[in-house]
Structure 1
Amino acid sequence: MEQNRPNHKLIYYFSKWTDISEEAEKIILSAFEPQFIKKKKDLLVVNDVCNYLYFITDGCMRSYYVDEKGGEHIFQIRMDNNWISDLESFFSNRPSHYYIEALENTHYLRISKERLEQLYIEVPSLERYFRILFQKAYVNSLKRLNATMWEPASDRYNEMLKEHPEMFQRVPLVYIASYLGITPESLSRIRKKK
């Protein structure tokens, strides 16, 4: 399988969780729209409804909100072969509280809620894939919330370094600090101790 073509990266990840026939592959590929966004451009802005799920084939994005004092708080940082979206807005059809911004020139695939529902009917095995994906997203959100409340910042940093070392080469440290829920100064102190 040609993993270097963006659509085939998506098929590769689906096939890790479920069997994809040649016919199903064609249906899936026709359901996702290839897109491109330049670095520093917004994919989603606050108060717009998030109408799509996005699969990043090559690039990096972040989702964040801005508090009443103008401070940015990063909720997600996603790179190649990962999903990003505002699932609350996507499923409820309500305005988003988040921005989604490209941190690099990014190629991605997108699918609307309506098309996703149709895809479940056309390729029933994908429903299992997305159920697992959404369960993992929920568990990861809870895990991150708990870590922010109970784990020392140095432990959160070490976990991120272990799980996503490439992030430190591609994402500005100020954004990593925000994602970890600490100040850039605190992150700098933690890094100096290593």
Structure 2
Amino acid sequence: MKPADLIAIIEKNELIENLVILERNEFLKTAGSIDTNIYFIEEGSLRVYVIDVHEERTIRFGYQNNILVSLDSFLTETPSEFVIQAIKKTVVKIIPKIAFMRFIYENEDHQKLWIQILEDLVVQQIEREKDLLISSPKERFERVLKRSPQLFQEIPNRHIANYLRMTPETLSRLKKS
């Protein structure tokens, strides 16, 4: 299932409780906060990062028609060190956990949908871990380019370079080759 299909189901079932417009660099979630919302990005782009010894480490991006969630906090309802920040002006639809879970437990088809969402998230995380284990910057770049070509149209190079654990100069050379 594609994110757009999921959001159609969510909208049909009136699960969206709020719409937020974030300006460039504005925070949707800060480190140490509890966040049990699911976010659907209507337009714009977000990045998820953690602070590692005073350095930001980007771990995920979201852009138009993507769903983003601080999954650790969503599942456990405890504080998370993830930060979610707008890269540019972004419009986000908010689905609260309580409404979403009520919907999920309504029937078996909704439960299957939830399992599919979780499976997709696990696969994405496995792919991300593989990216981090690959030592060659060129291989990391090629894997991400193949998996998410839209990323390179939506996200500034400095954030992509951080995500790929390389310098912006290395990323620029790889993009030219």
TM-score range (shorter-chain normalised) is 0.7 to 0.9
- Aligned partners of 1:114, 1:47: CA distance in 2, in Å? 21
Distance 1:64 1:171 in 2: 14
Residue of structure 1 aligned with 2:81, choices 76, 97, 108: 97
Structure 2 gap segments, 5+ residues each: none
Residue 134 of structure 1 aligns with an amino acid whose one-letter code is L
Q: Report the TM-score, using the length of structure 1 for normalisation.
A: 0.80
Q: Distance in 1 between matches of 2:149 and 2:125?
A: 20
When residues 151 and 139 of structure 1 are mapped into structure 2, their CA distance, relative to the original with a 3 A threshold, is farther
Task: Give the alignment partner of residue 65 of structure 1, picking from 50, 53, 78.
Answer: 50
Q: Which residue of 2 aligns with 1:150?
A: 134
Q: Which has the larger radius of gyration?
A: 1
CA offset digits 1:119-155 (Å, max 9, x no partner): 1234542322221111111121122112211352212
Deviation at 1:172, TM superposition (A): 1.4
Give the conservation status (yes or no) of the 8 Å contact 2:16–2:95: yes
Equivalent residue letter for 1:128:
K
8 Å CA contact 1:14–1:126 kept in 2: the answer is no
Which piece of structure 1 moves more, 95-104 or 114-123? 114-123
Unaligned runs of 5+ in 1: 1-8
Number of residue equivalences: 175
Aligned sequence identity (%): 27
* 1: CA distance, partners of 2:50 / 2:69: 13
Q: 1:107 to 1:126 in 2, by over 3 A?
A: farther
Q: Deviating runs (4+, > 6 A) in structure 1?
A: none
CA RMSD of aligned residues (A): 2.4
* 1:11-160 pair list within 5 angstroms: 12-14=4-6, 26=12, 28=13, 30-35=14-19, 36-68=21-53, 70-122=54-106, 124-150=108-134, 152-160=136-144
3-state DSSP class of the match of 1:31?
Answer: coil
* Aligned 8 A contact 2:42 2:92 in 1: yes
